[in-house]
Amino acid sequence: MSTDKAYYIPSKAVWPFIGTIGLMTTLAGFANYLNGFGYGSTMMVFGLMLFVLMLTGWFALQAAESESGMHNHGVEISYRMGMMWFIFSEVMFFAVFFGALWYTRNLSVDWLGGFGDGPGRSTNMLWPDFEAHWPTNGPGEIGGEFETMGAFGLPLLNTLLLLSSGVTCTWAHHGLLAGHRDQLIKGLAATVGLGFLFVICQATEYHEAYTEMGLTLGSGIYGSTFFMLTGFHGFHVCVGAIILTVVLFRSMKGHFTPENHFAFEGAAWYWHFVDVVWLGLFIFVYIL
């Protein structure tokens, strides 16, 4: 067992290898599926099951170790730092898609429309009639006519949902720090509920876009950036909500103390990160 001074170093790890096999099988299956091989989807499901098994087993092990006091202060600091740098990598991942939106919207679509044309540029030869505008599906009008998503219907509601989930999450954290388990559980339940409500609203919005507005992933650069940004964000909301659900169940089982609750903190940081990304989306994708 760990003491205050000693750093816990596990002597072997079974789950990482299993998880790697799971992920590799999933991705190879997906690739085969994309290439039109029927067995790809079976492979994918099998790999995903293995991956989920790994997540369950590994996190259960971590939780058990944490509850038995093996994670001293030093280990906690490692986990916190690890989580922060992981979130930083996620920031960079979203930055790519925000960057793509900025670049196309402010630079390359204008160039397509002839801005800055001079000798040696071929734009006007290919699409002499194209006039730059945003939103656009390009000179080829890829994907046909579409309507753009307004900001003040469901998206505004979604903004309010996520912002209030950030508040309930912090309220739960205060409860945990003060030793009020009841407040912790209520706050977490509210956060998870608001999170899933967000996902439902987002799904409704997508459904509307596809069925009524003609707006799809294939609607040129507008559709591409819209669905990639909101889609990856929605995926992260799902992951965050699942993590928070696990933390909720652990709280109900009596896990965590005011001093030792890295899992809660990590989940909360992740949730706030997802929240901030949404604010970026709301401004740059929906409002502007």
Q: By CB under 8 A, what part of segment 222-241 binds another protein?
A: 222-225, 227-228
Confirm or reject binding of residue 148 to another protein (CB under 8 A): no
CB of 33 to another protein, least distance (A): 9
Within 241-270, which residues bind another protein (CB under 8 A)? none
| Chain Cα centroid distance, residue 98 | 14
Output DSSP code: residue 214.
-
Helix axes 154-178, 262-281, angle to 10 degrees: 160
Q: Residue 3, interface with another protein (CB under 8 A)? A: yes
Q: Which is nearer to another protein, 175 or 220 (CB)?
A: 220
Of 193 and 214, which CB lies nearer to another protein in the complex structure? 214
**Interatomic CA distance for residues 110 and 90, integer angstroms:** 30
For residues 256 and 264, the answer to whether their CB atoms sit within 8 Å is yes
Under the criterion CB under 8 A, does residue 21 sit at the interface with another protein? yes
What is the C-alpha separation between 86 and 7, in angstroms, rounded?
22
How far is 113 from 116, CA to CA, in rounded Å? Answer: 9
The SS3 assignment for 99 reads helix
Pick from 39, 69, 106, 121 the residue near another protein by CB under 8 A.
121
Q: How far apart are CA 107 and CA 110, in angstroms?
A: 5
Q: How far is the CB of 110 from another protein (least distance, A)?
A: 11
CB of 249 to another protein, least distance (A): 22
Indicate the residue type of 89: S
Residues 169-228 that bind another protein (CB under 8 A): 216-218, 220-225, 227-228
70 binds another protein (CB under 8 A): yes
Least Å distance, CB 196 to another protein, is: 25
Rounded Cα distance, 152 and 186, in Å: 30
Instruction: For residue 6, state whether it binds another protein (rule: CB under 8 A).
Output: yes
**Binding residue for another protein (CB under 8 A) from 66, 136, 158, 230?**
136
65 binds another protein, rule: CB under 8 A? yes
